[in-house]
C-alpha cells in the first residue's frame, strides 16, 4: 500500500543524502497515498458541515455523515452504537472519562499508554500491576472486579496492542471477565486498528477509541465508538453550536439548552470534515487491501527485525508476555552501554532512519520492563534521573503498511554496525536530547 514520503531524502551528518526510513509508525504513520488523493479530490468541494444551505455545505455534510457510516462499519458497530469524531485517542478517552456515570469505578493496568492511564480524574481508579502472561491479565482483572463494590457502574480500560512492546492483549477474554462482573470495557485501539481488524461486535467491547494519524490518515481526527447510553446521559464534552438543538431565554433571564442526543452532542463546533473523510478513506483502503495480506506482510517484517536484533547480544528487546507472544510491528529495545537517545540520534544522523527513544508515554510500563535491570547508559542525552532512580529510556522501531524491505534491512544493518564499531560522529546533549555535534 503506497504511502507518502517514499522518495523523501534526508541529509546524513557524514555527508550525502539517503531516502528517509520512516520507522516510527507507532507515533504517527505516513499518510496512505489513497487517503491523500481522496482528500485532494474533495478539497475543492470543501464546505461547512451541518450549517450552510449551499450546495457544497450539503455535499460536505453528506460526506461527513457517510464517513461516520463507513468507520462504523469498519469497527463492526452494533445498531445502537454511537460514533463520535474526536481529535485523537487521547481526546476520545477524555470524552468517555467525562461521560462516566456518578460513582463509576475504573480499572486500568499500569501498562497502559498515558492516554488510557490518566483521564479518569472523576472516578475511583484501581491501577492493576503489569501481568506477565495474557492469562495473568485476565486473572488479575477477575480478582480486582470480584473485590469491587458490585452495585455501582464500572469501566475497564485496556489497550489492544502495546505501544511499547507491540504485544497483543487478550481483549475478548478481558471483555468477558468485565461483563461477567457487570463492568463495561473500552478498548484503546490506537496501535491495534492500523494492524488488525477491530470489531466491537466480535470483541464484545463497549467502546473503542483510535487516532487517524496512526491509521495513515493524519488530518487531526480520531474516533470514539460504542454504547450510546452513557454518552447520551452525559453533559456535552464541549458546549457550543452543533451540540445544542434549541437554546432559549428563560423568564428569569437565564438560558435553557436542549442538547442533541446523537453523536452531535459531543461534537460541538465546526466538525473536521477532512479529518473524518480521511479516516473513512483509510478504513476503505485497509479493508480493500485485506487485513490477512497486511498482517502476513507485517509479520515478515517483524521476523526480519527480531531475528536481526537477536543476532546482536548487546541488544535486549522489551517484552511483557515473552518471545512467542503475538504482536504488531512495534518493537522496543535497549543496547548495553548505549544511551538510547544517543543510539536513536546516530540512527537518524548517520543512516537516515527515524525511530523514537524515551519512555513512550507509558512510564510505568517502561519502568517495569527496565527497572529491575540496570542499564549502562552512555553520557549523551542521559535523562536526569530522580534521586535513587536509574536513568531509563529505550528505543522503539515501528512500521506497517508501505514499509519497504530496505528500511528494515537498513535498520538491522545499522544496529549491527553501531554496536560493533560505535558512532562515526560525536554527539552532544541539547535540551535533554542527543544531537550531532556540528
Ligand X SMILES: Cc1ncc(COP(=O)(O)O)c(C=O)c1O
Which region, judged by CB under 6 A, interacts with ligand X, from 95-103, 110-118, 333-341, 410-418? 110-118
- Helix (H) or strand (E) holding 430, with range, is strand 427-430
Residue 180 C-beta: closest distance to ligand X, Å: 25
Q: In this complex, which beta carbon is closest to ligand X, that of residue 115 or of residue 144?
A: 115
Which region, judged by CB under 6 A, interacts with ligand X, from 186-194, 285-293, 406-414, 423-431? 186-194
* DSSP-derived secondary structure for 119-158: --TTSEEEEEPPPSSHHHHHHHHHHHHHTS-SSS-EEEEE
The rounded radius of gyration (Å) of the Cα atoms in the chain is 23
Q: Is 361 a catalytic residue?
A: yes
**What is the Cα–Cα distance from 127 to 132, expressed in whole angstroms?**
16
Which region, judged by CB under 6 A, interacts with ligand X, from 136-144, 188-196, 263-271, 371-379? 188-196
Residue 88 C-beta: closest distance to ligand X, Å: 3
Q: In this complex, which beta carbon is closest to ligand X, that of residue 159 or of residue 348?
A: 159
The three three-digit cell numbers of residue 277, written as one number: 473523510
Which region, judged by CB under 6 A, interacts with ligand X, from 85-93, 137-145, 274-282, 340-348? 85-93
Q: What is the DSSP letter of 335?
A: E
Residue 90 C-beta: closest distance to ligand X, Å: 3
Residue 193 C-beta: closest distance to ligand X, Å: 10
Q: Is 190 in the site for ligand X (CB under 6 A)?
A: yes
**Using the rule CB under 6 A, which residue among 60, 70, 90, 105 binds ligand X?**
90
**Using the rule CB under 6 A, which residue among 68, 113, 196, 316 binds ligand X?**
113
Q: Is 175 in the site for ligand X (CB under 6 A)?
A: no
Using DSSP's 3-state secondary structure scheme, residue 73 falls into helix
Q: Which of 77, 157, 283, 361 does the annotation list as catalytic? A: 361
Using DSSP's 3-state secondary structure scheme, residue 70 falls into helix
Q: Is 86 in the site for ligand X (CB under 6 A)?
A: no
The three three-digit cell numbers of residue 319, written as one number: 517484552
Which region, judged by CB under 6 A, interacts with ligand X, from 112-120, 194-202, 247-255, 279-287? 112-120
The contact pattern for ligand X, residues 126-165, with x = CB under 6 A and - = no contact, is: ---------------------------------x---x--
**What is the Cα–Cα distance from 26 to 213, expressed in whole angstroms?**
10
The three three-digit cell numbers of residue 397, written as one number: 522501531
The three three-digit cell numbers of residue 44, written as one number: 475543492
Residue 93 C-beta: closest distance to ligand X, Å: 7
As to burial, measured by CB atoms within 10 angstroms (0-12 exposed, 13-18 middle, 19+ buried), residue 82 is buried
**Using the rule CB under 6 A, which residue among 60, 70, 105, 211 binds ligand X?**
211
Q: Is 88 in the site for ligand X (CB under 6 A)?
A: yes
Q: In this complex, which beta carbon is closest to ligand X, that of residue 188 or of residue 267?
A: 188
Q: Is 297 in the site for ligand X (CB under 6 A)?
A: no
Q: Is 188 in the site for ligand X (CB under 6 A)?
A: yes
**What is the Cα–Cα distance from 19 to 12, expressed in whole angstroms?**
10
Given a contact cutoff of 8 angstroms between Cβ atoms, the answer to whether 331 and 395 are in contact is no
Q: Which residue has the cell 553501531?
A: 418
For the chain, what's the residue count?
438
Quickly list H helices, 110-263.
Answer: 114-117, 134-146, 171-180, 200-203, 229-233
Measuring CA to CA, which residue among 26, 4, 18, 22 is closest to residue 358? 26
In the complex, which residues of this chain contact ligand X (CB under 6 A)? 26, 88-90, 113, 115-116, 159, 163, 188, 190-191, 211, 213, 361
Which residues are designated catalytic? 361
Amino acid at each position: 500500500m503506497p504511502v507518502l514520503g517514499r522518495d523523501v531524502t534526508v541529509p546524513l551528518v557524514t555527508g550525502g543524502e539517503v531516502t528517509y526510513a520512516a520507522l516510527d509508525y507507532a507515533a504517527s504513520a505516513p499518510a496512505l497515498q489513497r487517503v491523500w488523493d481522496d482528500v485532494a479530490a474533495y478539497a475543492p468541494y470543501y464546505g461547512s458541515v451541518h450549517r450552510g444551505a449551499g450546495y457544497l455545505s450539503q455535499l460536505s455534510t453528506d460526506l461527513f455523515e457517510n464517513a461516520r457510516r463507513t468507520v462504523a462499519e469498519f469497527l463492526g458497530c452494533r445498531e445502537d452504537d454511537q460514533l463520535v469524531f474526536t481529535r485523537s485517542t487521547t481526546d476520545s478517552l477524555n470524552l468517555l472519562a467525562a461521560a462516566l456515570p456518578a460513582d463509576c469505578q475504573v480499572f486500568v493496568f499500569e501498562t497502559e499508554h498515558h492516554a488510557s492511564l490518566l483521564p479518569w480524574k472523576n472516578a475511583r481508579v484501581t491501577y492493576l500491576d503489569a501481568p506477565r502472561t495474557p492469562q495473568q491479565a485476565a486473572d488479575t482483572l477477575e480478582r480486582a472486579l470480584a473485590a469491587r463494590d458490585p452495585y455501582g457502574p464500572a469501566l475497564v480500560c485496556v489497550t489492544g496492542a502495546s505501544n511499547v512492546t507491540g504485544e497483543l492483549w487478550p481483549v475478548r477474554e478481558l471483555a468477558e471477565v468485565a461483563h461477567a462482573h457487570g463492568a463495561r470495557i473500552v478498548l484503546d485501539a490506537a496501535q491495534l486498528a492500523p494492524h488488525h481488524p477491530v470489531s466491537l461486535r466480535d470483541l464484545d467491547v463497549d467502546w473503542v477509541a483510535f487516532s487517524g494519524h496512526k491509521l495513515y490518515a493524519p488530518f487531526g481526527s480520531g474516533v470514539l465508538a460504542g454504547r450510546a447510553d452513557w454518552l447520551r446521559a452525559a453533559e456535552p464534552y464541549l458546549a457550543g453550536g452543533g451540540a445544542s438543538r434549541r437554546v432559549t431565554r428563560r423568564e428569569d433571564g437565564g438560558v435553557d439548552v436542549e442538547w442533541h442526543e446523537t453523536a452531535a452532542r459531543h461534537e460541538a463546533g465546526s466538525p473536521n470534515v477532512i479529518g473524518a473523510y480521511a479516516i473513512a478513506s483509510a478504513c476503505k483502503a485497509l479493508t480493500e487491501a485485506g487485513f490477512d495480506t497486511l498482517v502476513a506482510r507485517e509479520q515478515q517484517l517483524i521476523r526480519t527485525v527480531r531475528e536481526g536484533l537477536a543476532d546482536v547480544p548487546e541488544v535486549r528487546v522489551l517484552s511483557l508476555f515473552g518471545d512467542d507472544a503475538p504482536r504488531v510491528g512495534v518493537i522496543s529495545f535497549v543496547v548495553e552501554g548505549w544511551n538510547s537517545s544517543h543510539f536513536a540520534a546516530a540512527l537518524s544522523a548517520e543512516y537516515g532512519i527515524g525511530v523514537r527513544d524515551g519512555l513512550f508515554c507509558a512510564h510505568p510500563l517502561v519502568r517495569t520492563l527496565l527497572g529491575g535491570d540496570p542499564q549502562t547508559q552512555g553520557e549523551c542525552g542521559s535523562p536526569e534521573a530522580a534521586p535513587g532512580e536509574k536513568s531509563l529510556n529505550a528505543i522503539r522501531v515501528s512500521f506497517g503498511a508501505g514499509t519497504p524491505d530496505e528500511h528494515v534491512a537498513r535498520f538491522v544493518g545499522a544496529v549491527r554496525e553501531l554496536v560493533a564499531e560505535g558512532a562515526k560522529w560525536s554527539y552532544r546533549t541539547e535540551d535533554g536530547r542527543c544531537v550531532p555535534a556540528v
